[in-house]
């Protein structure tokens, strides 16, 4: 569970184009040299020692006997010197614009000294021709180097992109991770090995080479790995599984080798691979064969881990929320031979997480974090961190100096139910229909023995629902009995029956309720063995392609007769629940109308308001804990 903001690595990230002078001094010097060379050549070539004259002027000088010598180049250029009779030009150059067969005869007749030579190629001309290519190559090399993030190495495809966390001022410790005592106990052994390896090696013990952290998203797997590094006080290398795979074959395997080599050089240390399933999925999965590059990367990882010497003091941690799709070779003893479950927090752990986050904000004295923890079951550490942040944002928008219970309530409703759309224009007729619909849901909570206690009911639109009834169970439940499931179906039917009683017809707002009720009834028959005639049997197997990672179909492994039996069982459960729901609301239609009218006026009523309005006894203290949404779809 995420109880503390991650420490960020301030080093240069790959693909970040921020110019670093210290790392790019050579590139900067090279660029400045090219520019200086260009200007020098421009200045040198801009002042020619010989003045260029038209060819007709040259012929005129020649006829007047003013030309003393010429040098004719194979490029039809003539460089010459005048005899000094002219006070304007002493040396000149010109170009022969046409084939002149009379030129040599005239030169001999005037006694001009004639020489010839090929056209010289100056260094400046060579550099001027190469300069555009040099600039292009420099630009390509510099951009490629920046993109790859290879430091002083231009080509670094095969280098590991792992971020190293060392010397942090605020290291993460186990005390910063609320709850997860079992996971901490498993990882304490890893920490102790990194601190005192001789204690284990002296007795011939072998520490697990790889530890796999398994848990739902947001439970704090990465934070737990950093806590191990913080406790052991060793370098911590972090890399995502997707960072290994590239479009070029062999790059991923090269990065694996580089990562493990960096680990050996910095031992003792921890190598942490996040989202391992991105590279460690079962080989050969998928239509038409697997990805060769990904499989080569996985093969290299298997080789590195299996040949890894535990005496080097390098521990490999990895995290995933899909351990079922990992290749079996990764999970065998000698590789990731220990799995540590980082589970969703229970109510006690949720309170501890809230205390850690609440210690950083101005909290009002009357805020009861225990009640907030009870009202947020099924939430991860990341969810709770977001809850606290949203509560602070609500307090800041209201210009309050401290965060109160109402701010937490509003933040919880926003995160779990959706933002309130108070600006939505709803006609009085729709508002009235929604009020009766939600009153039907709410009233059933007080007449059903196995339902969760009602928390509040509202006709303010949230998310896609026009209204909702919110219930909170008294404690965290990890399994449900048949009585609770049946009552849950009846509560889902409450809006449908209420509309039927008042208007003698129903609306499209019952769509979501019907889907929920039907799904529960079908799973009772096909998965949980609660059907009267089907009994203790699982009907229908989910097809889960590994390469997709989710269900796309349900395999029908039973006959048509059994399918008919399933449909009859589901309909029997639905009909029975619908009949009982109609009886309850029909017998208490006056309370239904009273509750609906109060909802139209006040829009939101909590449990105490409803008990006072309808004369129900007060609820026992301390039973806020889970939110379930039951409302009319918009």
Q: For 8, phi and psi rounded to 5 degrees? A: -95, 145
Question: What is the residue whose two structure tokens read 């009153």?
Answer: 439
Taking the alpha carbons at both ends of the chain, their separation in whole angstroms is 34
Q: Say if CB 168 and CB 7 are below 8 A apart.
A: yes
Q: How far apart are the C-alpha atoms of 211 and 627, rounded to whole Å?
A: 35
> How many other CB atoms are found less than 10 A from the CB of residue 262?
19
- Distances in Å between the Cα of 402 and the Cα atoms of 358, 395, 611 are 11, 7, 31
Q: What distance in Å separates the CA atoms of residue 354 and residue 221, rounded to the nearest whole number?
A: 18
CA distance 492 to 503: 18
Reply yes or no on whether 438 is catalytic.
Answer: yes
Query: Residue 619 burial (CB < 10 Å; 0-12/13-18/19+)?
Result: middle
Q: Cα 233 to the chain's mean position, in Å?
A: 28
Name the active-site residue from 186, 351, 410, 438.
438
Sheet (strand 77-82) strand order: 51-52, 91-95, 77-82, 67-73, 113-117
Nearest Cα residue to 308 out of 274, 339, 337, 281: 337
111: left (phi over 0), alpha (psi -120 to 50) or beta: left
The 3-state DSSP class for residue 250 equals coil
Using CB atoms within 10 Å of the CB of residue 135, give its burial: 0 to 12 exposed, 13 to 18 middle, 19+ buried: middle
3-state secondary structure of 160: coil
What residues are paired with 72 via a beta bridge?
Answer: 78, 116
Residues found in the chain:
634
Paired tokens of 576: 């029975």
Do 434 and 509 contact (CB within 8 A), yes or no? yes
Which of 143, 210, 224 minimizes the C-alpha distance to 181? 224
CB atoms inside a 10 Å sphere around CB 144 = 13
Tell me the DSSP string of 1-33: ---SPPPPP-SPPTT-----TTTTHHHHHHHHH
> Pick from 175, 319, 185, 135: which is nearest to 241 by CA?
319
Distance CA 594, CA 321 (A): 48
| CA 475/CA 607 separation, integer angstroms | 17
The residues carrying an active-site annotation are 438
């Amino acid at each position: 569970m995420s109880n503390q903001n991650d420490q960020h690595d301030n080093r240069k990230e790959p693909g970040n184009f921020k110019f670093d002078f210290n790392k790019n001094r050579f590139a900067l010097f090279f660029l400045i040299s090219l520019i200086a060379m260009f200007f020098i050549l421009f200045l040198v070539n801009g002042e020619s020692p010989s003045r260029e004259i038209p060819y007709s002027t040259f012929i005129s000088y020649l006829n007047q006997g003013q030309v003393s010598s010429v040098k004719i180049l194979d490029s039809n250029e003539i460089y010459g010197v005048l005899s000094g009779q002219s006070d304007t030009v002493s040396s000149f150059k010109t170009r022969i614009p046409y084939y002149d067969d009379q030129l040599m005869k005239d030169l001999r007749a005037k006694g001009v000294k004639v020489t010839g030579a090929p056209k010289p190629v100056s260094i400046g001309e060579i550099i001027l021709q190469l300069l555009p290519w040099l600039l292009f190559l420099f630009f390509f090399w510099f951009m490629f180097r920046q993109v790859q993030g290879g430091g002083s190495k231009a080509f670094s495809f095969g280098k590991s992109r792992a971020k190293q966390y060392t010397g942090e001022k605020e290291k993460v410790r186990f005390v910063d991770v609320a709850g997860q005592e079992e996971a901490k106990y498993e990882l304490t052994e890893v920490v102790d090995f990194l601190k005192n390896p001789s204690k284990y090696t002296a007795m011939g013990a072998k520490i697990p080479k790889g530890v796999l952290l398994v848990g739902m998203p947001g439970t704090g797997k990465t934070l737990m790995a950093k806590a191990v590094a913080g406790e052991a006080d060793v370098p911590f290398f972090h890399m995502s599984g997707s960072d290994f795979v590239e479009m070029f074959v062999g790059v991923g395997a090269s990065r694996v080798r580089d990562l493990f080599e960096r680990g050996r050089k910095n031992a003792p240390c921890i190598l942490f691979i996040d989202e391992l399933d991105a590279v460690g999925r079962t080989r050969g999965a998928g239509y038409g064969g697997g990805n060769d590059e990904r499989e080569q990367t996985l093969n290299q990882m298997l080789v590195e881990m299996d040949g890894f010497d535990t005496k080097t003091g390098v521990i490999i941690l990895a995290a995933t929320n899909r351990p079922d799709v990992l290749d079996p070779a990764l999970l065998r003893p000698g590789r990731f031979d220990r799995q540590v479950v980082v589970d969703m927090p229970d109510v006690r752990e949720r309170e501890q997480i809230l205390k850690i986050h609440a210690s950083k904000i101005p909290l009002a004295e009357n805020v009861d974090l225990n009640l907030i923890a009870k009202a947020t079951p099924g939430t991860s550490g990341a969810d709770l961190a977001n809850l606290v942040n949203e509560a602070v944002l609500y307090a800041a928008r209201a210009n309050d100096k401290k965060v109160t219970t109402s701010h937490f309530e509003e933040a919880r409703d926003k995160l779990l139910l959706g933002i309130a759309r108070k600006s939505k224009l709803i006609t009085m007729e729709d508002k009235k229909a929604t009020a009766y619909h939600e009153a039907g849901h709410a009233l059933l909570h007080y007449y059903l023995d196995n339902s969760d206690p009602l928390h509040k009911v509202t006709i303010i639109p949230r998310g896609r629902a026009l209204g909702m009834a919110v219930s909170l169970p008294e404690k965290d439940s990890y399994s449900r009995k048949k009585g609770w499931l049946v009552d849950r179906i009846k509560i889902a039917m409450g809006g449908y029956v209420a509309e039927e009683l008042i208007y003698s017809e129903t609306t499209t707002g019952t769509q979501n309720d019907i889907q929920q009720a039907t799904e529960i009834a079908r799973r009772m028959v096909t998965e949980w063995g609660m059907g009267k005639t089907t009994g203790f049997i699982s009907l229908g197997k989910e097809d889960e392609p590994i390469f997709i990672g989710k269900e796309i179909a349900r395999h029908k492994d039973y006959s048509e007769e059994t399918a008919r039996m399933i449909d009859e069982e589901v309909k029997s459960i639905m009909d029975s629940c619908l009949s009982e729901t109609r009886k309850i609301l029909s017998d208490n239609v006056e309370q239904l109308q009273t509750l609906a009218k109060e909802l139209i006026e006040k829009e939101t009523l909590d449990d105490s308001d409803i008990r006072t309005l309808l004369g129900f006894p007060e609820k026992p203290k301390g039973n806020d804990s889970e939110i379930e949404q039951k409302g009319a779809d918009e």
